[in-house]
Amino acid sequence: MRRLALPILTICGLALLTSCSGGSGLAFGTSTTSPTVVVLYAGSNGQTNDFEIAPTGVAPLAVAAVGYTGSGVSPNYVVDATFTWAARYVNPLTDPQNVATYTVGPAPGTFKTCPAVPTFQPPVPILIQGGTGAASSFAGYTVLPATTATSQVFLEAVPGVTAPYCLVVDATSVNGHVVGSHTVIVSNSP
């Protein structure tokens, strides 16, 4: 019976995938699946381009993490993957090039190096909507408790730190401990 269950679930999953996503080729993992890749997206447009926060923004930047297994044209999306989050300042003198640079403009874009690390470096607030954590400067958002796992967080310019500067945000999968990272430029103009 177990041998038949997997092919039937696979066929049903492919039928559902084709009807829901236009045949993108992504399969869906379950809670027993550990992500092997973590990808971060910013905003609501599903883009993985470089993330930017205006120092005087009117809303925080939404950042979501998605877990996948496999690779190539048909990775498996892990539907219930959750992540713990961390953020820190980028130091262009000591961080690797893929962290200390960002791109500007449409593909292929222009590479720029992150500005020098700020001299004043308070902790970087990572926010969630609602919740019972410490209040943030945005109404309706609170600071994410350190051990809380979620698939989406919000970032703001760090209060009291003079822009421009870069942050790197990390999402670590709870089931599998795979890390996805992305550089965020805090600036009025990238």
Strands (E) located in the chain = 27-29, 37-42, 51-53, 61-69, 76-78, 83-89, 101-104, 110-113, 126-129, 141-143, 152-155, 165-173, 179-186
pLDDT confidence of residue 44 = 55
Q: Are strands 51-53 and 179-186 parallel, antiparallel or unpaired?
A: parallel
Which residues neighbour 164 within 8 Å (Cβ) at sequence distance 6 or greater? Answer: 115, 185, 186, 187, 188
pLDDT tens track of the chain, all 190 residues? 333 333 333 333 333 333 333 334 455 655 557 888 999 988 755 555 678 998 988 889 999 999 988 777 778 888 889 999 999 999 999 999 999 998 877 767 788 999 999 999 999 999 999 877 777 888 899 999 888 999 999 999 999 999 999 999 999 999 778 999 999 999 987 7
Say if CB 30 and CB 79 are below 8 A apart. Answer: yes
Rounded Cα distance, 62 and 89, in Å: 18
pLDDT confidence of residue 60 = 92
Pick from 139, 143, 147, 119: which is nearest to 131 by CA? 143
Distance of CA 8 to the CA centre of its chain: 33
pLDDT confidence of residue 147 = 84
pLDDT confidence of residue 26 = 55
pLDDT confidence of residue 154 = 95
pTM of the full structure: 0.78
